[in-house]
Amino acid sequence: MLDYLDPTNLLSILMGPLGREYLSQAGKRRPITIKLNPLKANPANILSFLHEEGFLLRPLPHYDLAYEVEHEPYPLTKSIIHFAGLIYLQDPSSMLPPILLNPRPGEIVLDLTAAPGSKTTLLSTLMENKGAVVAIDNSGKRLQALSYNLERWGVINTGWGRGLAEQIGNIFFECFDKVLVDPPCTGLGTLHKSPEILRWWKGSKVIKLSRIQERILISGLKALKPRGTLVYSTCTLTPHENEGVVNAILERYPVVLEEIKIKNIPTHPGLVEFINFRFNKELSKAIRIYPLEQEGEGFFIAKLKKMEAFSPPRYKSLPQEQTFFLPTDLQIKEKIEEIKRHFGLKDDPFPHTAFFLLKRHARIASIELAGLSSPIPLQRGLSFAHTLKGGWRLTTRGIQWLAPIISENFIELDSKSLRTLLSGHTLCEVSGHGQQLLTHLGCPLGYGLIKDGQLVSQIPSKELIIRE
């Protein structure tokens, strides 16, 4: 009897001759793909910066800010462009679930099993940093990566917390307009970067993971408001973890599948049969994306709409109170006014924000995120300023967030000056005083301090590669 869970057999059935070719390329590095950050800079300026550094790019059809790096003169992750959060390395197929979820500014969105944050940052971007995103994961190490990536991307509308994905639906019962569920999977669509999958692969693990995925999907649906939308995605190709999971939900819950249509990318409809398995015909509305047919990883994506309210959980979780301050509050107002004066802000970005005051710094969050009732503790928003005795000093991420409206005390560095500062040297005979926004080609990089006419960079450049 054919072992249809063996990767060789499975890929041959699904992909034909392309399946064996894909297996033969396991572990072979594919070109890097990135997305640009429109929250921080004009994408055209980011592209100019990348080209100046010697990176050659090709636009991808997955997303209008997605590019393949055709030439990398040095590791992109060691560049000031990456440090400044102007780009994010992300597989193009993994950009599609947030895009298909289509979150809008002002909505309340859940990203279940969110770390390390590639999809979370895209959700926030599509929402224009407005509304609220709750990002949940249960791994301390992965949450550290999530926190770092959210800060680097300049996100103020996202809060992250630790929790079991299977329990979140009861904790946040019917709280969210939209939900993204991208659960742990066997990752069969990622062999180019994870060839070790073939070493530990077992059919029993596929079955075990499919049961976990089903519980997480149910949890996501519980957290979703009636008439809300949920996108379920995996980077694997096994029917058990994809159509099988969604089919089980269609049989038990009042949800329907919405048809997914994508232009310019080869896709296949979801399976309605596989070997001796038969699935709901509605699963043809889902999509399969196979590696080698396009630039991204293998993926499965289904879009579900919740038609009715679910029965509420027996026990209601109580919210964790977190005190925040509005920009008009006395503890905050004076500090903000000083920032406005020093940087000559061309606009007032604060009316729709709130602040959390911690021991040594202030965090800024969208008003929707700040006021969101949460049963679990959330780290909300962006580290905005260091709270010093003499007042507030903006953090690197805080000054980058304000960069588009700063008109005073900023320095546009030419290539030579940028390399001088990143090499650890100072710039002499510089006008201005105090904290300075540092930009290059209109891209905010961080800040420097002027004292006695000398500019000292505060950009941590020890790990960066400085191109001559």
What is the DSSP code (8-state) at residue 347?
A: S
Tokens for 126? 């599509």
> Could you tell me if 11 and 20 are in contact, meaning their C-beta atoms sit under 8 angstroms apart?
yes
Give the active site residues: 235
Integer angstrom CA distances of residue 431 from 166, 301, 426: 57, 54, 13
> Could you tell me if 285 and 255 are in contact, meaning their C-beta atoms sit under 8 angstroms apart?
no
> Could you tell me if 383 and 401 are in contact, meaning their C-beta atoms sit under 8 angstroms apart?
no
> Could you tell me if 181 and 249 are in contact, meaning their C-beta atoms sit under 8 angstroms apart?
no
- Checking 346-349 for CB contacts under 8 A at 24+ apart, the result is 346/405, 346/406, 346/407, 347/405, 349/401, 349/402, 349/405
Q: How many whole angstroms separate alpha carbon 105 and alpha carbon 102?
A: 10
Q: How many whole angstroms separate alpha carbon 270 and alpha carbon 285?
A: 6
Nearest to 246 by CA among 216, 291, 275, 276: 216
Hey, is 277 helix, strand or coil? strand
Q: What is the DSSP string of 287-335?
A: EEE-TTSSSS--EEEEEEEE-SPPPPPSSPPPPPP---B-TTSHHHHHH
Tokens for 273? 């049969």
Q: Which residues contact 261 (CB under 8 A, 6 or more apart)?
A: none
**For 208-227, what is the HEC assignment?**
HHHHHHHHHHHHHHHHEEEE
Q: How many whole angstroms separate alpha carbon 379 and alpha carbon 417?
A: 37
> Could you tell me if 330 and 283 are in contact, meaning their C-beta atoms sit under 8 angstroms apart?
no
What is the DSSP code (8-state) at residue 313?
A: P
